[in-house]
Every structure is written in structure tokens, then in C-alpha cells.
Structure 1
Amino acid sequence: MKKTALVAIIIFILLSPLLFLLLSYQFTAFQEKYYSAPERKEVLDFLQENTEIKANFTALEVSHLRDVQKVMQFTDYLFYLVFALAVILGIVLYRKALLLKALFYSGIFSISFFALIFLFYFFGFSFLFTVFHQIFFPQGNWLFPADSLLIQTFPAEFFTRLSGLIFGKAAALSVIALFLSFYLKIKETLKNRQ
């Protein structure tokens, strides 16, 4: 196997968990059913469409929501970049007859990655939540009193549930990638026997 093909496989494998996570985030995080309360809907509209917030959020809460908006925009751009790279790499690997191998190993790697994430999720979600906020909001404006409107609108249970759904769907995509590689390999083997 040529060095460039090996590099393409490795990059494809390493990108897969990120792609599955971002894809799951795109399809899960903004479903209307999670934002049925008026304040939640208002925040969602603000985050997605930059509408005015009429609820009585404090200036610090609005500042944090603006930072969340920036992180969401970055996440969208990252998703498009990772998706485009995965498609390009997929085409390259397909042409070199290495896509099945890459899908197989990306499925294994992604399942392992999400198994580790689930360990943290079940045994230390608050740790994951804190690390996430320290990375994306290093200025520290993400800590609010329990009685603040933002925390009342989006309690810890909201993020625990939504994160579980996102991680679960991403893990399911990993399993699908693995089974797709098995299915395509069997199909290829049967075709070669004819």
C-alpha cells in the first residue's frame, strides 16, 4: 500500500468519530420538541437567527448566549469542512479500492471512541460538561447561580439528556459504518465468485 493511501485511510479513520458526532449534533440539537417552553424557543431563535431576546435574561446571560452563538457557528463550519474532507477521502479511497477497509477501521475506532465517551457520560457527566465549557468558554462566563433564568430555562438535565441523544446517535452511526463495511465486503465477495 502506498504511503499516500495509508495517510488517506488514517485521516478518514480519525475524522470519522468527529463526523459522526457533528452529524448527530446537526440532526439532534435543534429539534423543536426540545424547545417547547417559550424561553427555550426564544433562545433557540436567538442562537439560530439572531433574533432579539425579550425574556429577562441578565447581561451576563446574554453575553454567554452570544458566545454560544459563536461556538455554534464554528461548529457548523467545522461540520461542513469535516464532511467535505470525508467525502473527498471517501472518493479517493474508493478509487484505490480501499474504502471498505477504511469504513471497517473507522467503525471500530469510532465505536471505541464513543465507548470511552459513554464511560465519562455515565460516570462523570459533570466533568465532561465542565471540560467542554472550559475549552469553548475560557473567559469563564458560563457559571450562573441555580436561580438564574438561564439555568432555570436550561437545567443540567436538559444538557444531560441532549448530550446522551447526540452521543447515542453518533455511536449508532459508528455501528452502521462497521456493518456497512461488512455488507459491502460480503456483496463484493459474492460478486467476485460469479
Structure 2
Amino acid sequence: MIKSLRIILILAIPFFLLLGSVRLITSNQYLAFEYWKSDFPPDPFGFTASQRLTIASANLRFVRDNLTLDALSSQVFDGDPVYNSRELSHMVDVQRVYQSVWRGWQAIVLLILLTSFLLLRFSDRITLLSSFQTGGLLTSGLIFMLGLLAVVAWQVWFTSFHQIFFQPGSWLFEYTDTLIRLFPEKFWFDSALTLLSISFLEGLLLAFIGWRWRLSINLK
């Protein structure tokens, strides 16, 4: 039983850290950070950085706060709808995926709390901290491999991600479409590396805390 609990906890930690980090980059603060980078490409069709930020912030709120589609379909810029029907359909899919990920993260939190409680109840703190250490190292190892793949084969990484979560072709748009103007490929590459970097560092930090705390207990 103890071994099974440890395995469950160790395997849950990478998902906990990675999915939790998604929440950090779906924020207005991250959007502003990305848009105001000196090397971020300007919109070739006329959005200023401020206009981009305003429209993209509303887009993120729709996804993050599980708003109705009217939050996007009612948006107008220069007298025209901001999004076409294909873009709106895709954003509904994005919202669905994001909300599923968020609910999954919440379930993982409960799973980690339960397994941690059971390990403390039927084993000891050393076993629990060892599991945290191993889970942190596993996270950093997996994230390193994902990051390496993203750097050396970005198009494969990017395409594979969309093929997993979305219907074929539903995520492809014209360069004149608003979604591409708000979120060019540079945005996704930077966001992927930011997300993976945060998760990688979180894994190392968790492993260090587990190791250091376990060491302090052994020295007593």
C-alpha cells in the first residue's frame, strides 16, 4: 500500500506543477510582459500594442473565467466584429480545454492531499518527503525533455499539441485573422518556454525542499 501511494504521489506531481503553471501565464500581467518585449513582432494590420492588450485580455477572460460566447462575439473594432465564426468556434474549444485542465488540476490537488495524508498516517514524514523529492526530480527531467523538443523541433511540438486537443484544421487561420494578429507564433513559442521553465524550476525547488527537510530530520 505504501509503495502504491508513493507511486501515485510521484506521478501526480508533474501534472500538478505543469498544469498549475498554465494558470500563471493566462494572466493580463503575462500578456503585458510579452507584448512589450522589444523583439515582439508588431501587428502588420494596424493593432497598436495597447489595442492588442485590450482585446487579448478580453479573450483570456473568456477562457479563464468561463464566460459566455457573447463576451467575444459582441466585440467590435472599427465597426467590424473582432472575430469571425471560425475564430469564435475555436475559442469555444479553447475554453473547453482550459476548463477541463483547470478541473483536472483541482482533482490532482485533492489526490496529492489525500495521498500525502495517507502516507503520513501509515508511514512517516521521511517517506512523504522522499516522494516529493522524487516527484520534483521527475518533473524537471520530463520538462527538460519537452523543452529540448520545443527548441529543436518547434513546428512538430506546436502541431502535435494542437492535434491532441483540437479537431484537425480547426486551429489553422489566415494571417489576417484576429487570433493570429493577437497571438502570433512568437507568442506561443515564448509562452511554451516560459511555462516549461517555470515548471522546471518548481520541480527543482520541490526536490530541494524535500531533500533538505528530509536531511534535517535525519540529523536530529
Tell whether the structures are fold-level matches, with TM greater than 0.5.
Answer: yes
Q: 1:91 maps to which residue?
A: 117
Pick from 102, 106, 125: which aligns with 1:76?
102
Instruction: Indicate the RMSD between aligned Cα atoms, in angstroms.
Output: 1.6
Q: Secondary structure at the match of 2:71?
A: coil
Amino acid at match of 2:2: A
Number of equivalenced pairs: 188
Structure 2 unaligned spans of 5+ = 33-49, 77-81
AA aligned to 2:113 is V
Runs of 4+ displaced beyond 6 Å? none
User: Is contact 2:16-2:105 (8 Å) kept?
Assistant: yes
Q: Is the 8 A contact 1:8 1:89 kept in 2?
A: yes
Matched with 1:22 is 19
Q: 2:71 aligns with which of 52, 61, 69?
A: 52
Task: In structure 1, list runs of 5 or more residues that go unmatched.
Answer: none
Give the corresponding residue for 1:109: 138
What is the identity, as a one-letter code, of the residue corresponding to 2:155? Answer: S
- Of 54, 64, 87 in structure 2, the residue corresponding to residue 38 of structure 1 is 54
The one-letter code of the counterpart of 1:71 is V
* 1:108 CA displacement: 2.1
Q: Do the aligned partners of 1:29 and 1:166 also contact (CA within 8 Å) in 2?
A: no
More helix by share: 1
Structure 1 CA distance for aligned equivalents of residues 61 and 130 of structure 2:
42
Instruction: Name the structure 2 match of 1:7.
Output: 4
Work out whether residues 147 and 196 of structure 2, in 8 Å CA contact, stay in contact via their aligned partners in 1: yes
Bigger Cα displacement from structure 2, 14-23 vs 39-48: 39-48
Measured after TM superposition, the shift of residue 130 of structure 1 is 1.0
1:63 is aligned to 89
